[in-house]
């Protein structure tokens, strides 16, 4: 999108973890002033983030993105946030920092971007509920028994979206939607009882907001992340997007259904953690990141991802922490606890 609008953007910094050639190519395409690889550590990235900019696009996967996000907030007029984990695990901390520095959060996640577009702040007291839509993932129609022997290769093949391995597995378990429930709470200051999930396999309606007069405002678009990215980077204006456009003439039907809590218990866990508080949300996220990694490396089976997370939530000593250092330390503790639980063999089903 930035390449499509070279007259609108001057790129100060881009980063990657270890894809040096791709980063170098992107630097040339965007004429970025700085580029940073973080495989050897994040010190240089954190230092380079101390330049004043109009918008920072935060897209580092997982909790690894929390510290750079916090470093960028004081120097950014707005944060276009694509990774949900920092808000899930440290929402209070992130929001307090944004309030202190007058930094606007612009959600890029397609569901929250959709809500952002139709959420009338002046009518907040008339909002009945936020409805987050979910594709249902690649295994929406399978029974629990049929999901027993799912492989990583199957789990990363999303039917609608092209995404990385971690988020693709989260979508397959519907853990992604559980994390989005928590994220929606922090982004829009809505209680758990006003956040609903509806399975919509076509991924055309990206989310909705229902008002007290019966009106339901929805944002529609093709399942292409270029659309929410363009919206966030252009906000409050709208820029032309290089992404796919929605063609209603090619649509035969839009289907909706309730998520199945028996086959996909992650959503229930998400609500439970949101109601319990930040410590539970942090535990939820950390355990899931470890469990997904274990599944991708064939140390546990597909169904054991959510089972591991629930087991950790039941067993790990809960903490409520409010500082960046405390959150990072507690996150590391939960990850060690989760790894030990997996190594203990209590989660024993593996995929050959």
Q: pLDDT at position 300, please?
A: 96
Of the pLDDT bands very low, low, confident and very high (cuts 50, 70, 90), residue 6 is confident
Instruction: Please name the residues in contact with 298: beta carbons below 8 A apart, sequence gap of 6 or more.
Output: 152, 350, 351, 352
Assign 322 to helix, strand or coil. coil
In whole angstroms, what is the distance from residue 5 CA to residue 29 CA?
12
- pLDDT tens-place string over residues 201-213: 999 999 999 999 9
In whole angstroms, what is the distance from residue 117 CA to residue 111 CA?
10
Q: What are phi and psi of 107, to 5 degrees?
A: -75, 135
pLDDT at 346 over 70: no
Dihedral sign of CA atoms 188, 189, 192, 194 in order: negative
- What is the reported pTM? 0.93
pLDDT at 216 over 80: yes
Rg, Å, the chain Cα set: 20
Closest CA to 64 of 337, 331, 270: 331
Assign 33 to helix, strand or coil. coil
> Per-residue pLDDT averaged across 185-212, rounded?
97
Q: How buried is residue 214: exposed, middle or buried, by Cβ count under 10 Å (0-12/13-18/19+)?
A: exposed
* Strand blocks (E) in 230-323: none
Under a CB-based contact definition with an 8 Å cutoff, are residues 27 and 43 in contact?
no
Q: pLDDT at position 56, please?
A: 97
> Per-residue pLDDT averaged across 40-60, rounded?
95
| Structure tokens belonging to residue 310 | 């629930």
Q: pLDDT at position 352, please?
A: 32
Closest CA to 223 of 303, 159, 297: 159
- pLDDT tens-place string over residues 230-269: 999 999 999 998 888 999 988 888 999 999 999 999 999 9
In whole angstroms, what is the distance from residue 348 CA to residue 352 CA?
12
In whole angstroms, what is the distance from residue 168 CA to residue 171 CA?
5
Distance of CA 298 to the CA centre of its chain: 23
DSSP 182-204: HHHHHHHT--GGGEEEEE-TT--
- pLDDT tens-place string over residues 291-315: 999 999 999 999 999 999 999 999 9
Q: pLDDT at position 351, please?
A: 35
């Amino acid at each position: 999108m930035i390449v499509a609008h070279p007259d609108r953007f001057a790129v100060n910094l881009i980063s990657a973890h270890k894809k040096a050639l791709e980063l170098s190519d992107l630097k040339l395409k965007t004429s970025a002033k700085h580029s940073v690889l973080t495989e050897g550590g994040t010190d240089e990235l954190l230092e380079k983030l101390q330049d004043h900019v109009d918008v920072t696009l935060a897209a580092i996967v997982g909790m690894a993105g929390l510290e750079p996000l916090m470093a960028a907030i004081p120097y950014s007029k707005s944060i276009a946030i694509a990774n949900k984990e920092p808000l899930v695990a440290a929402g209070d901390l992130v929001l307090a920092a944004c309030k202190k520095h007058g930094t606007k959060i612009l959600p890029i996640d397609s569901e929250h971007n959709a809500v952002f577009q139709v959420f009338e702040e002046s009518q907040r007291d008339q909002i009945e509920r936020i409805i987050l839509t979910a594709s249902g993932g690649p295994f929406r129609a399978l029974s629990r028994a049929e999901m027993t022997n799912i492989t990583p290769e199957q789990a990363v093949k999303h039917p609608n979206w092209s995404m990385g391995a971690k988020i693709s597995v989260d979508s397959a378990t519907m853990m992604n939607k559980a994390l989005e429930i928590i994220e929606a709470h922090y982004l829009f200051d809505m209680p758990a009882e006003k956040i609903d999930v509806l399975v919509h396999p076509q991924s055309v309606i990206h989310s909705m907001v229902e008002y007290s007069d019966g009106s339901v405002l929805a944002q529609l678009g093709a399942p292409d992340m270029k659309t929410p990215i363009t919206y966030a980077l252009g906000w409050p204006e709208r820029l032309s997007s290089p992404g796919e456009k929605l063609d209603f003439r090619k649509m035969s039907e839009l289907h909706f259904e309730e998520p199945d809590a028996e086959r996909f218990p992650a959503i229930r866990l998400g609500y439970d953690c949101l109601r319990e508080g930040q410590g539970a949300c942090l535990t939820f996220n950390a355990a899931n990141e470890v469990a997904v990694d274990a599944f991708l490396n064939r140390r546990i089976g597909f169904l054991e991802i959510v089972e591991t997370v629930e087991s950790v939530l039941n067993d790990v000593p809960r903490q409520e922490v409010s500082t960046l250092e405390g959150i990072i330390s507690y996150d590391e503790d939960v990850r060690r606890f989760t790894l030990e639980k997996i190594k203990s063999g209590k989660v024993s089903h593996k995929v050959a």
